[in-house]
């Protein structure tokens, strides 16, 4: 259901907006919910147990952090989040939703830190499960000691990829000094550390981590702590029944009819055929001549997956290459990306509980409030326009009709 919400209006669907005091408590989680599964419910239940005035979900948009199209569009996933217990779901700006872990995490913390509240709690899963080793890691990486930087460069010169070199150098540095830290080879730990690094910088947010016991890359489907990637891979295959059992009923219903393929490859390859090397150089995160390699190999490969594999190197991982290609498709240039890091936030609301619509008035105090795709397109905010473009890309590539404005559930 779309609602053209005006933050200055005194009533919304007959309900008078209430004044919300600044001494409120907000509990928030950042998620992709691709798809929302039983393991996510543990984190949601923990957030609800803190008895917040607002339980906020900051949801990634229509392109994932790995540069892929999710199983469901952002409005469907926002609906799932509200049914799971969220009061309001806002969109993580897509420009950072398809960026490295550092920028992804910082964008989420930025949104939360600007909302007026006495207490803001950010909850996230981690393989570590304890906050101190994660905070120790965040402190060291933020300070960037010279010894660590030297070791990192030496390992990369030896042929290690950046993630491998970083983890190896970090492990050696902390072991020599007897500092208990989280394992940097674990994906949830990496993101957790980036949340903590951003919290150190932006202030005003209290971190809380919950141990994640499942393996992100596990091909087996644990019903209590499943891997989202294993669930996606099993849909439409022999193990579909097992995958569906790991989903809450309201997600399972949508998953049974989900479109698991997309037409992103021809769209992307056509776009690359139009670009010159200088134009591709201007795309965020492109450097070191990778633009020439991309354009050359785009003529030799007929689908996105094979192109990504062909382009990737030790320095440019497959996820990074995918993000660059999505950036080229959405027109995410270096200047727009860098300016967006410290620009005032905007709040794109995807879904809200009908009993909590007063939250919209509160969010409007923190930044520009947007409640629909057309509104984002015409807002004059470059990053909001990219959100709109990503949503259109999803609709076209999936050949699927989607919602185009805030859901009131």
Distance CA 316, CA 156 (A): 12
Q: How confident is the model at residue 22, as a pLDDT?
A: 58
Tell me: the pLDDT tens digits for 8-62? Answer: 443 443 343 344 455 899 999 999 999 999 999 999 999 999 999 999 999 999 9
Contact of 92 with 350, CB cutoff 8 Å: no
Q: What is the pLDDT of residues 210-246, one digit of tens each?
A: 998 766 556 667 767 788 988 998 987 878 899 999 9
pLDDT at residue number 13: 38
> Which DSSP symbol is given to 355?
G
Q: Which two tokens stand for residue 170?
A: 């970090």
Contacts 24+ apart (CB under 8 A), 246-251: 246/37, 246/38, 246/221, 246/222, 247/35, 247/36, 247/37, 247/38, 248/36, 248/37, 248/38, 248/41, 248/80, 248/83, 248/84, 250/79, 250/80, 250/83, 250/84, 251/35, 251/36, 251/37, 251/80
Record: fold of 11-127+189-261+338-408: Rossmann fold (3.40.50)
Of 261 and 269, the one with more pLDDT: 269
Residue whose C-alpha is closest to residue 122's, from 39, 31, 34: 31
pLDDT above 70: residue 251: yes
C-alpha to C-alpha distance for 78 and 36, rounded to whole angstroms? 10
Residue whose token pair is 């996820």: 319
Res 183 pLDDT > 70: yes
Q: Which of 121-135, 222-236, 277-291, 381-395 has the lowest mean pLDDT?
A: 222-236
For 144-183, give one letter per residue: b (16+ CB within 10 A) or e: eeeebeebbeebbeeebbebbbbbbbbeebbeeeeeebbe
Predicted model pTM:
0.92
Report pLDDT for 10. Answer: 39
Residue 5 pLDDT greater than 60, yes or no: no
Specify the higher pLDDT residue, 166 or 192: 192
Beta-strand runs (E) in 62-158:
88-92, 119-126
Smallest CA-to-CA distance from 193 within 317, 74, 106 is with: 106
Give me the percent of the chain exceeding a pLDDT of 90: 82
- What is the tens place of the pLDDT at every residue in 137-163? 999 999 989 999 999 999 988 988 888
Q: Delimit the CATH 3.40.50.620 region(s) of the chain.
A: 11-127+189-261+338-408
pLDDT at 332: 98
């Amino acid at each position: 259901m779309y609602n053209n919400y005006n933050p200055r209006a005194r009533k919304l669907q007959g309900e008078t907006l209430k004044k919300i005091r600044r001494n409120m408590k907000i509990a928030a989680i950042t998620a992709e919910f691709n798809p929302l599964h039983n393991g996510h419910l543990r984190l949601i239940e923990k957030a609800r147990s803190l008895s917040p005035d607002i339980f906020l979900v900051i949801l990634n948009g229509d392109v994932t952090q790995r540069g892929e199209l999710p199983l469901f569009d952002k409005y469907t996933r926002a609906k799932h989040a509200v049914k799971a217990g969220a009061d309001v779901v806002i969109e993580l700006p897509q420009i950072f939703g398809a960026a490295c872990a550092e920028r992804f995490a910082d964008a989420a913390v930025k949104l939360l830190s600007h909302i007026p509240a006495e207490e803001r709690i950010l909850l996230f899963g981690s393989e570590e499960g304890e906050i101190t080793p994660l905070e120790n890691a965040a402190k060291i990486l933020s300070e960037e000691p010279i010894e660590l930087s030297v070791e990192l460069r030496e390992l990369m010169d030896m042929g290690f990829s950046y993630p491998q070199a970083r983890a190896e150098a970090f492990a050696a540095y902390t072991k020599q000094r007897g500092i208990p830290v989280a394992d940097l080879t674990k994906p949830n730990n990496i993101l957790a550390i980036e949340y903590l690094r951003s919290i150190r910088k932006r202030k005003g947010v209290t971190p809380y981590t919950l141990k994640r016991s499942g393996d992100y890359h596990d091909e087996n489907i644990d019903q209590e702590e499943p891997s989202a990637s294993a669930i996606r891979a099993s849909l439409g295959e022999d193990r579909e029944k097992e995958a569906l059992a790991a989903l809450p009923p309201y997600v399972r219903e949508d998953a049974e009819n989900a479109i698991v393929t997309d037409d992103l490859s021809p769209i992307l390859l056509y776009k690359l055929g139009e670009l010159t090397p200088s134009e591709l150089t201007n795309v965020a995160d492109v450097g070191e001549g990778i633009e020439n390699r991309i354009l050359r190999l785009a003529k030799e490969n007929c689908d996105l997956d094979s192109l990504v594999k062909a382009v990737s190197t030790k320095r440019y991982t497959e996820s990074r290459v995918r993000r660059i290609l999505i950036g080229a498709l959405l027109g995410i240039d270096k200047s727009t990306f860098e300016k967006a890091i410290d620009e005032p936030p905007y709040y794109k609301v995807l879904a809200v509980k009908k009993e909590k619509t007063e939250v919209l008035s509160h969010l409007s105090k923190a930044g520009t409030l947007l409640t629909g795709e057309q509104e984002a397109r015409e807002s004059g905010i470059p990053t909001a326009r990219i959100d709109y473009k990503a949503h259109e890309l999803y609709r076209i590539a999936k050949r699927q009709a989607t919602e185009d404005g805030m859901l009131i559930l």
